[in-house]
Structure formats: C-alpha cells, structure tokens
Amino acid sequence: MNSTGMDLSQGDLLRNFLLLDSNTDQQRKLYDDYWRPIELDFGKEGFSERFDYFLRDYITMLEKRIVRLDSGYTEFKQFYEDKKTTKEEILKNLRRYSRYYCKIVLCKDDDKDLNELWQELKVQHVDTANPFLMQVYGDYEEAQETNQFKLTKDDFIEIVKAVNSYVYRRYIVGIPTNSLNKTFAILYNSIKKQDYRNSVLATLVLLGSYKRFPNDEDFAKAFSEKDIYTTRLKNYTLEKLENNNHLNKVIIDGTDISIEHILPETDVLKPWWQEVLGENWDELQKSNMHRIGNLTITKGVYNSQMRDYPFKKKLEVEGGIKFSNYRLSNDVVYDENHKERESWTIDNINQRSEKLAKQALEIWAYPKLTEDALKPYKTHYRQERVIYEDIAHMPEMRDDIKAIYEALDQAILQLNEGVTKTITKHYIGYKYDYTNFAEIIIYKNSLNVILDIPYENIVDPNNLTENITDKGSWGTGHVRIKIFNGKDRDYVMNLINQSLDYSINGSD
C-alpha cells in the first residue's frame, strides 16, 4: 500500500523498482532528473489517472504486442530483466516517451497545429494509436535534430490526419474496432525511414479485410445513410463540417449552440409534416430524421421553440436557422439556385446528405499516394504472400484424418471474422491480424496442431497438450496437440480458441 492506504498503482511499483535500490545520492539524481519531470508533465491529477495507461502503451510500443493495464509493471520488469541497461538509461527513455504521451493524450503540445490534431484524436477516443504515435513523434524530433532522414512537420501532420481518418471512416462504415489495438501495436514495423511518409500511408492503404481503410465510395455512402445523430460523434461530426476551413470555430455545447432536426424527431409528427411526407410518413420519419442531411446547428435558445414548426415557420423564427449565419444552415434555407426553399422533403435530405458526404471526403481524407509511391509496397506485400494455393504438396492423408483436418479447418476459420489462413511449405497457418495463433502440420496417419500461446497459459485439464518450447517443430508456437482420431474435436477447438483469445487480448 502507499501512504494513503490505497493499493500501489503500476506507477508506484515502477517508481520503487527504479529508485529504491539505489544509494541516496543516486536516488535523488534519478528522481530530480527523470522521475520528477515525468510527474510534472502529467500533473498531479493526470499522473494518478493516466500514468498506468502510459506504462501499458509504452510496453506495447516496445514489445509490439497488447499488454494488460494491470500488468504494466510486471511486463516492464520482464522486458528489461535480461538487458544490460542502467536504471538511468531506462528512466531517460521513459522520460522521453512520457513527454510525447502527455503532448498527445493530455493535449499539452506547444505546437498549436499538432495540439488541434491531438484534441481530435481525444474526442474520437483513439487511445489504441498511442504506441504508434509516440514512436512517430520521437522520429519527428530525431529527424529535425539529425537530418538523417526526412520527416517534416507537414509529413507528420499528414500521418496523424491519416490515422484520424482511418479510425473515423471505420467508425462510420461500421467496422468493429477490436482489431485496432493490434493494428497500431505493429504498424511501426512497416515504416521505412528513408521513405517515411509513403511507407506509413501505403501500409494503411494496403490493409485488407477487417483492417481495411474504407475507400471514398464506401465512406461517402455510409456517411450519407447513417443515423449520425445517434452516434457518440455527432457533435464532433457537425463541428468539423461547420468549422472546415473557417477561422471562427463553433463548439456544440447543447446550451449556446445545439443540434436541430429540420424534419422533427418527435414521436408523432404534426399534420403539416405528415402531409409533406405523405403515405408511410412514420417510417420515412424514422429512417431519415437522424441522417446528416436533416441536421443543422442553431442557437440553443431557439431549438425547443422550433421543434414542431412547419418548415417555413422554422426559417422565420427570429435568431433561428435563417438568421444564424452558420454555414451548415445555408443549404437548408437556400436551394442550389440560391432561392429560399418552400418545403423540406426526403429528396432534400438525400441531396444534402450526399453534398455533406462530399465535404466529409475532404475532411476525413483518404491518403493521397501516387501509383509510383505505392508500387514498392504493393510488391513488398506480394512477396510476402505464400505461394501455395492448396495442400497438394503435403503428405496424402488417410480418409479419416483428411475428414478431421477439413472439419478443424472450417471450424477454425469460423472462430472470428478476422481469422485468415495461409499455406506454407510445411504447415497450414491460421492468423489473427499478422500473427499466427495456430498451425496444422499434416502427416499420413495423424495431425499435429501447434498453438502460439505460452504453455503456462493454456487450460488443459485433459492433458492433451505438450510443451515443445525446447523441442521445436515446423510450426511457430510452443504448444503441440497430437491428433489421431476425431473423438476430442470439440475439446481441441476449445484449446485452439484459447490461443486465438491470447492472440487478440494478450494474457487477459
């Protein structure tokens, strides 16, 4: 426990580990030169709330794998255990990356342009990108100091904007976020420092399947059709549309400025709105009222007054939509010929949704790379693909073993939409993201299943698994299961699923 009677945090444990076994003079020096500056960067409240998260992200950055929040200290000790690194060197590196972390996560960057980007990432809750962004920030400073490679401020900003766009587009398109932590944990591995900007953007663009960067067509369609109002990013979305390339920024706080539905969101529409929508007015209202094309912003005081008004009366409310001077309201009030509208229909919502989707394509832009810049990375990805399309080169199996293999193969691929299969010379590998979690090695009369999970983490009450850490195999894992018949298939699938879960969540 600490002095307040609370359990020691990961930060408390780390401080004790780094400082307490030194002599008094050395302890004071390490504290004054490194640990105290870290505390000051975070601030008292920030340190208590965020340091453990920083430690987790720091270890994820070093190890290129997901680390549990409550195991940061243990993982930190294990990482440095066999390294001939002094406590001062460890603290110096920790201090360096804590600075970047505080700039990014606590939005304490002295550079105004960068700080605005960190604030956007904070709104989006893009914590999974922190391990990657800390490394890029370090490279940005190094590039300015050494000139050994090119990473300009414009390049840095473009990379951060690409990360922001990648996360936002995926959110709008509706791609699950559970793979993002692993994607960002290993994204730095793809960087080529002598072609920094292109290597990062190309890697993002070339991500496939559930990791993909939604293209303009998919994003624009989803943006125009999605119920933006019901999302947690509704204020952020409308603020970005209103503030794009505009000096006078607005903030939607629900008091001074609030979101207004043109077609009302009331449970039962007034007769005049029912008449505008016609037959099936209730279904049309439900499917269109929360779309981006039906939303604008107005002074908060007028929002409740205008709620059920007919369209023309909404426009004429003094200080309301027509008189707001907000850019988002211009195409609500006026049509494409700059004439004041007489009504508001589903066609108007569709047209405005499509128009705002085009604006969204510019704000959350897809990375711009020439074909020449992208070509080397396409070649790199092709070279990494396995050349085998089937298992014809592997031993011919007995019929019953073949049936067991085919059943396991299908069952593994159905465990998670992120699972993919590759066929190498010696085994069939099953990956989540870029990493194997299981391999099947084929023999004529049996199968070996290799699991990429530490032997001590596997739960196997039936003792089917074997620790092959010191024995080796054609696979990449440390746990082997020998299969001679199909009687334990469900049990084996449970073991395989444990390895997949370890690949996704680490040792949680």
The band of 148, judged by pLDDT with boundaries at 50, 70 and 90, is very high
pTM of the model: 0.76
d(CA 150, CA 195): 8
Query: Mean pLDDT over residues 155-172, rounded?
Result: 97
- The pLDDT, as a whole number, for residue 102 is 96
The band of 376, judged by pLDDT with boundaries at 50, 70 and 90, is confident
- The pLDDT, as a whole number, for residue 375 is 85
SS3 266: coil
Give the β-pairing of 435-442 and 257-261: unpaired
d(CA 68, CA 181): 12
Tokens of 456: 């001590």
| Average pLDDT of the chain, as a whole number | 88
Query: Mean pLDDT over residues 84-93, rounded?
Result: 90
Check pLDDT > 70 for residue 508: no
User: Class assignment of domain 399-505?
Assistant: alpha beta
- The pLDDT, as a whole number, for residue 385 is 43
d(CA 134, CA 55): 12
Long-range residue pairs from 346-352, CB within 8 A, at least 24 positions apart, any chain: 346/277, 346/284, 346/288, 348/293, 349/262, 349/263, 349/288, 349/291, 349/293, 349/294, 350/224, 350/293, 351/293, 352/292, 352/293, 352/294
- The pLDDT, as a whole number, for residue 73 is 86
d(CA 432, CA 438): 10
pLDDT in tens, 282-341: 999 999 999 999 999 987 666 565 677 888 888 888 777 888 788 898 989 998 888 999
Query: Mean pLDDT over residues 48-65, rounded?
Result: 91
Query: Mean pLDDT over residues 392-408, rounded?
Result: 92
- The pLDDT, as a whole number, for residue 383 is 42
- Annotated domain spans of the chain: 1-108, 228-357, 399-505
Residue of 383 and 290 predicted with greater confidence: 290
Residue 124 and residue 164 in contact, taking contact as beta carbons nearer than 8 Å: yes
Tokens of 450: 């290799």
Check pLDDT > 90 for residue 470: no
d(CA 165, CA 163): 5
The band of 382, judged by pLDDT with boundaries at 50, 70 and 90, is very low
- The pLDDT, as a whole number, for residue 76 is 87
Check pLDDT > 60 for residue 411: yes
Query: Mean pLDDT over residues 346-357, rounded?
Result: 95
Check pLDDT > 60 for residue 191: yes
Residue (of 17, 106, 18, 11) closest to 58 by Cα position: 11
Q: Give the highest mean pLDDT range of 152-156, 185-189, 272-276.
A: 152-156
d(CA 325, CA 339): 16
CA 359 to each of CA 210, 223, 444: distance values in angstroms, whole numbers, following the listed order: 25, 11, 60
- The pLDDT, as a whole number, for residue 65 is 82
Residue of 6 and 356 predicted with greater confidence: 356
d(CA 57, CA 75): 11
- The pLDDT, as a whole number, for residue 287 is 95
Q: Give the highest mean pLDDT range of 42-51, 117-126, 263-272, 371-380.
A: 117-126
- With pLDDT > 90 as the criterion, what percentage of the chain qualifies? 56
- The pLDDT, as a whole number, for residue 246 is 77
Query: Mean pLDDT over residues 438-463, rounded?
Result: 92
The band of 380, judged by pLDDT with boundaries at 50, 70 and 90, is low
- The pLDDT, as a whole number, for residue 232 is 94
Residue 367 and residue 205 in contact, taking contact as beta carbons nearer than 8 Å: yes
Residue 430 and residue 415 in contact, taking contact as beta carbons nearer than 8 Å: no
Tokens of 178: 């559970």
Check pLDDT > 70 for residue 471: no
Segment among 7-16, 162-171, 446-455 with least mean pLDDT: 7-16
- With pLDDT > 70 as the criterion, what percentage of the chain qualifies? 94
